Structures are given as structure tokens and as C-alpha cells.
Amino acid sequence: MTEKEKTKGGRSKGKSNSSVSDLESEEAAVAANDSSEAGPPASAKGIPRPSSSLAAPLGTQVGSLKVSLLADPEIVPSLEEVERINTTSGSDVRTPLLAVVQAVLVNTGGAMSIADLAPKVRKYWNRPFPAGPYSGEEFIYLMIANSDHLRVTQQ
């Protein structure tokens, strides 16, 4: 075969593209057969849940971490106002979770452990924490970990 007869892909001009498409359709059929014979999808049903669902272990229990308020207490809503807003029946208006955390911290002196903070936040937020892989303390930690107005430290 001379150089002139070759195309860019190295195939000769005399070959048809039908052989290439036949090969691709054969590969697709083999892949389809392999996936159908694989059986039922894998399940994590029997695997025990780890003690923490956080992406990286903290080296300590989440509940023992200390949360401190960095914001000006004058701009934080009062705990009474938060409770009034969140307990009004017939209204879908709720105080944001971080505002509730800040109000609880202002009311208790500006710092407390997550273990003490989580039940108070749940009480004044007046709604359950989302169901998921996290405990209440882990959920609070995830919500406040990157806040500009709160600091999380080890005690």
C-alpha cells in the first residue's frame, strides 16, 4: 500500500467504515452481557455504621468540642424572640439554625460544649434535626464549623 492510499487514521481508502462500526457494536453487546450477568447490586446493609459519619475523624468526640461566639452579641436576636418566632403555630417562618445557635450562646455566656449546645438548639429551633447519617452533635458541628461568627475548639 502506498503512502497516498493511506488516510489520516492509518486505514486504507479501500476499507469501508462498516467494519469499524461492526466492531464497536460487538464491544457494546459484550459490555451489555457482562453487566446483566453481574447479579444484584452491592448493598451495605450488613456493614456496621462507624462511630462517626464525619469525613475525617476529629481525634476527639464531637460533643466535647467547645463553641465560642465571635459575633457582637448586640446583633444576635434574643433567645425569647427566637422562641416566639419558632413556636408560632400556623406559620412556616423559622429562625435560621445559626441564629438559634448564636442566641443560645449569648444567653449562656458566649461559650459551651457541643454536647450541651445541641439539645438547647433543638429545643429553641423547634424542629427535628434532619434524618441522616449524622447524630445531632455531628449535625451541629457541620453547620457551625465554617461559620464566620463562631469558633470551634478543643477543650
Of residues 43, 65, 75, 56, the one with CA closest to residue 118: 65
| Of 21 and 82, the one with more pLDDT | 82
Tens digits of residue pLDDT in 77-136? 999 999 988 887 677 778 899 999 999 999 999 999 999 999 999 999 988 888 878 888
69 lies in some domain: yes
Question: In what helix (H) or strand (E) does residue 112 lie, and over which residues does it extend?
Answer: strand 111-113
136 lies in some domain: yes
138 lies in some domain: yes
pTM over 0.95: no
| Of 148 and 57, the one with more pLDDT | 148
Tens digits of residue pLDDT in 49-58? 666 666 666 6
31 lies in some domain: no
102 lies in some domain: yes
In this prediction, residue 113 carries a pLDDT of: 95
- Containing structural domain, residue 95: 62-154
- The structural domain count of the chain equals 1
| Of 155 and 54, the one with more pLDDT | 155
1 lies in some domain: no
Structural contact between residues 122 and 129, judged by C-beta atoms closer than 8 angstroms: yes
CA dist., res. 138 & res. 62, Å (int): 6
13 lies in some domain: no
